[in-house]
Every structure is written in structure tokens, then in C-alpha cells.
Amino acid sequence: MNNLKKEFATIYAGQAFSLLGSSVVQFAVIWWLTIQTESAIVLTLVTLVAFIPNIAV
């Protein structure tokens, strides 16, 4: 039983780091597009598109 808890903790920690990394990349892409286009509309649209999967779930 103790081995199962250890495996679960390893997978859980890996998933947490993966989600953190994905969020950082998503933020960087949104920031880069905003700087490149200098447009508030692009910022709004890209942010909405990026968060639609989170809202759907």
C-alpha cells in the first residue's frame, strides 16, 4: 500500500509541474503576441481562445 502512495505522489507531482509549465508557455505566447501586434483586441482574443478549454472542462 505504501508503494502505491509513493507512485501516486510521483505522478501527481509530475502532473503539477506539467500544468505549471503549460501555463507559463501559454502566458509567454499571449505576451509575445501582444507585444508583436500592439493590439488590445489581439490580447483579448488570444486570451479567450487560450482559456476556452479550461472553461469547457
pLDDT value of position 24: 95
Cα–Cα distance for residue pair 35/21, rounded to 1 Å? 21
pLDDT value of position 29: 93
* Cβ pair 5, 14 in contact under 8 A: no
CA 40 to chain centre: 21
User: Which stretches in the chain have pLDDT values below 70?
Assistant: none
CA 57 to chain centre: 14
For residue 34, count other CB atoms closer than 10 A to its CB. Answer: 16
Cα–Cα distance for residue pair 24/19, rounded to 1 Å? 9
pLDDT value of position 33: 93
